[in-house]
Chains A and B, each alone.
Chain A
């Protein structure tokens, strides 16, 4: 069930109600059942895969902890990694690698007919696999002790607010919370509901509205000209941000109502002043996962620093999908990081030469715009339906003639003028809101205001979703990160 559906609203209300009326000792059982029920609403039989992943990582971690040094310890970790990542590979990457291998073999003059598996990708497999595998690695490196309570560990893997699209949680953050007796708290419920409302505004008001224009342009690139791609790509940047961070907000809000605090997955990424800063703000749970389990394992910044960065970003690109476009997207972000590191001394010298104040409003503003442009350029590869479409878009984007600005009207974008106006207004409002949030806690700001003002804010958010949301017969979009 989607987070922006009536079914989820009913499910959450019931889950919260039952959770708080149950005695503490039964709550984890209820949450485990509710989480598996939530997952099985997508596809019942794939819950077995999640259970398998849970069992393997649970047993492997206990065995790793009990084995003192030696190759056997490493064997248990490798066993856990191979099984879990193997399942992920089978469902997500087998066809891609098989077909790529066939193409390469053809270049060498060897004909090979690849076997194609018709397997539906289990929802959330990339997320819960990484969460479970991350736990095994943490036990191996000594960062965490193994959890002996299988039921609560299973709940850690399957906890419904963050199961299908993150944040990818760490055992030391989430697990201890299952042992705390949370009492129902009105303020916490209010805070959770506000997070959910924020998420719904981002998803149904902004992301799903922007999707109309993005899909019109990106699904038929042959029919559009240069400027269309500029607008569509900028819109996509906000679509994917609002879609994904909206989901995360709803996840965080849902968990908070129940008394759990999930990690923050986004920190206003389009206010980043560099690509490095961007990746500290975007999908933080995945970035930190790769940093802790891949980058540091390979040596971090102590040896082969730049190579390690490229490996991490290529892996991140591949994590997002079995398509060359995602790998190129990851590669490009890696190049940005490497270039940023290599060019940093040069930029410092230029600043000193021109007396530019590092951190001034103008300086940061220019850096933000450049960072946004670089990120948007990479998004082209992420969103394009195929490598062929990508090259077509790029070829039309870098043609500077009259045709670049042809046919600029709302009809060409697949939207009416009112929707285009609302889309632009919402993006502007979002950036203003996040700029304020950068310096000031909006939650505390609203909560300190008189009751009438607070209620006006709540009413305004409610009306915004009611009127401008894409729901009902307006055909909302699937959450983008569900496909990963």
Chain B
């Protein structure tokens, strides 16, 4: 048979050939294609740490949070809501997401505020950090968003190349091979059918027990790398302003914090200018800024505590987080 898909041998009936009927059929067919696309977008989604954490956060009941921490690992390693709640009469939750940058923080906050109405949002300032090695983190954060017009807008905003934005909007480009992983499909189906309502044990706080090993300490002492990634430029300031405006719109008190770093690490980077820049933009926006690197004495983080309070140069462990959380609780309990 020649030219098997040719139209030449087939003449449809007159009614079926009307333009309106064909347009309706085409629209319905596109709708079916979209439905299939959305179904597989959900069912084949990668189950990485970002997605898992975000799902647990989204599993919270509506309006269950009064004070919310957002940011990346610096947020969920530093602030223990259980300890903060000892000082304030409020429901506290840590909604930090791994590898999050300030542009994703803005869209993530938009998403969170659909289900929660906190009166205070505390944003960890390390989200200002950006570097070339962040791409996988970006991908994971973008892929944790369900397909929506907002996600398309976010991708168009964040990725200048429209084709890259289109590529990022659809996580199927990265996850379609998950048809080989039945456990992922099962997990996703359970989530979307409402059968997976797992939440956090510690209200979002990530517990790390270990301190810094001798090897880790020596590594930081010997390191010659002085790069410190928080970047205060036009791009990051744009998203900071969006977050500020969003909070003002919703009458939310916004506090910006910078979690403490290990002092050895701190000495290696030109931290002073970063602190000044963040302080300046917060002052301009009328937003409170707490830099914990200026408060070692107030926190009770003595020099001797450092190896025991930190898991690595940039993240506190449970003992360091306790000191920070107590301070934060005291701070929030005072009248503004």
By a beta-carbon cutoff of 8 Å, the part of chain A in contact with chain B is 6-7, 185-188, 190-191, 194-195, 198, 253, 256, 261, 264, 267, 416, 418-419, 437-444, 447-448, 451, 455, 458-459, 462-463, 466-469, 471-474
Q: Are B32 and A455 in contact (CB under 8 A)?
A: yes
Q: Are A442 and B40 in contact (CB under 8 A)?
A: no
Residue of A nearest to B174 (CB): A473
Do residues A191 and B173 form an inter-chain contact, with CB atoms below 8 A? Answer: no
Which one, A191, A416, A439, contacts B7 given CB within 8 A?
A191
Q: Chain B's nearest CB lies how many Å from the CB of A448?
A: 8
Report yes or no: A191 in contact with B5, Cβ–Cβ below 8 A: yes
Do B5 and A195 touch (CB < 8 A)? Answer: yes
The answer to whether A466 touches B7 (Cβ under 8 A) is no
The 21 sampled A-B contact pairs (Cβ below 8 Å) are: A7-B163, A187-B10, A187-B17, A191-B5, A191-B7, A253-B5, A256-B7, A261-B6, A419-B180, A441-B5, A441-B6, A443-B10, A455-B29, A458-B29, A459-B33, A463-B36, A466-B36, A466-B40, A472-B167, A472-B174, A474-B177
Q: Measured between C-beta atoms, what is the minimum distance from A169 to chain B in Å?
A: 15
**In the complex, residue of chain B having the shortest beta-carbon distance to the beta carbon of A264:** B3
Q: Pick the contact of A198 from B2, B5, B10, B177 — CB < 8 Å?
A: B5
Contact yes or no, B5 A473, CB < 8 A: no
**Which residues of B are found within 8 Å of A261, using beta-carbon distances?**
3, 6
Determine if B9 is an interface residue (Cβ-Cβ < 8 Å): yes
Is B22 located at the chain interface by the 8 A CB criterion? yes
The 5 closest A-B pairs by CB, nearest first: A472-B173, A443-B5, A186-B22, A418-B180, A191-B7
Point out residues on B near A: beta carbons under 8 Å: 1-7, 9-10, 12, 17, 19, 22, 25-26, 29, 32-33, 36-37, 40, 44, 163, 166-167, 172-174, 176-177, 179-180
A16–B32 CA distance with the chains assembled, in angstroms: 23
From A6, A185, A198, give the contact of B167 (CB < 8 A). Answer: A6
Determine the residue in chain B with the shortest Cβ distance to A417.
B180
| Minimum C-beta distance from B11 to chain A (A) | 9
Given contacts A437-B1, A451-B25, could you give 10 more A-B pairs where the C-beta distance is less than 8 Å?
A: A186-B17, A198-B5, A437-B4, A443-B5, A444-B9, A447-B10, A467-B44, A467-B176, A472-B172, A474-B176
Contacts of A437 in B (CB 8 A): 1, 4
Find A466's partner among B4, B32, B172 (CB 8 Å cutoff).
B172
Contact status B29-A442, CB under 8 Å = no
B179 partner, pick from A6, A191, A440, A467, beta carbons under 8 A: A467
**A185 CA to B5 CA in the complex, in Å?**
15
Q: In the complex the two chains form, what is the Cα distance from A253 to B316 in whole Å? A: 60
Contact A469 B36 (CB under 8 A): no
On chain A, the residues within 8 Å of B17 by CB distance are: 186-187
CA distance A150 to B177 in the complex (A): 49
* Other-chain residue from A6, A418, A438, A473 in contact with B163 (beta carbon distance below 8 A): A6
Total contacts A-B at CB 8 Å: 88
Report the Cα distance A191→B1, complex, angstroms: 16
Contacts of A467 in B (CB 8 A): 40, 44, 176, 179
Assess the B173–A471 pair: CB atoms within 8 A. Answer: yes
Q: Please, which residue of chain A has its CB at the minimum distance from the CB of B5?
A: A443
Min Cβ gap B266→A in Å is 37
Question: By the criterion CB–CB under 8 Å, are B176 and A187 in contact?
Answer: no
Cβ of A438: which chain B residues have Cβ within 8 Å of it?
Answer: 1
Residues of B near A194 (CB, < 8 A) are 5
Q: Which residues of A contact B174 (CB under 8 A)?
A: 472-473
C-alpha gap A63/B130 in the complex (Å)? 65
A473 to B174, CA, bound (A): 5
Query: A462 CA to B39 CA in the complex, in Å?
Result: 13
B12 contacts which chain A residues (CB < 8 A)? 187
Q: Considering the chains assembled together, what is the distance between the CA atoms of A196 and B19 in angstroms?
A: 23
Q: Which of A191, A466, A471 has the most CB of B within 10 A?
A: A466
By beta carbon, the residue of chain B nearest A9 is B166
List, in ascending order, chain A residues with CB within 8 A of B33's CB: 459, 462
Q: Distance (Å) between the CB of B164 and the closest chain A CB?
A: 10
| Chain B residues within 8 Å of A473, by CB | 173-174
Q: B26: which A residues are within 8 A, CB to CB?
A: 186
**Across the interface, which residues of A come within 8 angstroms of B25, CB to CB?**
451
Known contacts A471-B173, A472-B173, A472-B176: A440-B5 contact under CB 8 Å: no
Complex contact A443–B4 (CB within 8 A): yes
Q: Which residues of B contact A186 (CB under 8 A)?
A: 17, 19, 22, 26
The interface residues of chain B lying within 8 Å CB-to-CB of A264 are 2-3
* Contact B4 A459, beta carbon cutoff 8 Å: no
Question: CA separation between A261 and B5, bound complex, in Å?
Answer: 11
Minimal Cβ-Cβ distance residue in A for B179:
A467
Which residue from chain A places its CB closest to the CB of B43 in the assembled complex?
A467
Rounded to whole Å, the gap between the CB of B286 and the closest CB of chain A is 43
A464 to chain B, nearest CB (A): 11
Most chain A beta-carbon neighbours within 10 Å: one of B2, B10, B26: B10
Distance (whole angstroms) from the CB of B23 to the closest CB of chain A? 9
**Which residues on the A side are within 8 Å of B177 (C-beta)?**
474
Contact A267 B10 (CB under 8 A): no
> What's the least CB distance linking B199 to chain A, in Å?
31
Query: Residue on A with the closest CB to B181?
Result: A418
Closest Cβ of chain A: how far from B75's Cβ, in Å? 29
CB-based nearest B residue for A419: B180
Asked, given contacts A418-B180, A467-B176, whether A459 binds B5 with beta carbons under 8 Å apart, the answer is no
Give Cα A471–Cα B174 distance, bound, in whole angstroms: 9
Interchain CA distance A198-B5 in the complex, whole Å? 10
Among residues of A, the one whose C-beta sits closest to the C-beta of B41 is A466
CA distance A186 to B16 in the complex (A): 10
A445 to B179, CA, bound (A): 30
Q: Which residues of the other chain, B, contact A267 by a CB distance below 8 angstroms?
A: 2
In this complex, which of A191, A448, A458 has the most chain B Cβ atoms within 10 angstroms of its Cβ? A191
Residues in chain A near residue B7, CB distance under 8 A: 185, 187-188, 190-191, 256, 443
A459 vs B33: C-alpha distance in the bound complex, in angstroms? 7
Check if B36 sits within 8 Å of A462, measured CB to CB. yes
Residue contact B36 to A442, C-beta cutoff 8 Å: no
**A contact residues around B44 at 8 Å (CB):** 467
Q: What residue of chain B has the Cβ atom nearest to residue A447's Cβ?
A: B10
B244 to nearest A CB, angstroms?
36
Please, how many angstroms separate the alpha-carbon atoms of A253 and B5 in the complex? Answer: 9
CA distance A455 to B19 in the complex (A): 19
- State how many angstroms separate the Cβ of A203 from the closest Cβ of chain B: 15
Query: In whole angstroms, how far apart are the Cα atoms of A7 and B161 in the complex?
Result: 12
Residue of chain A at shortest CB distance from B18: A186
B10 and A444 within 8 A (CB): yes
- Bound-complex Cα distance A95 to B132 (A): 41
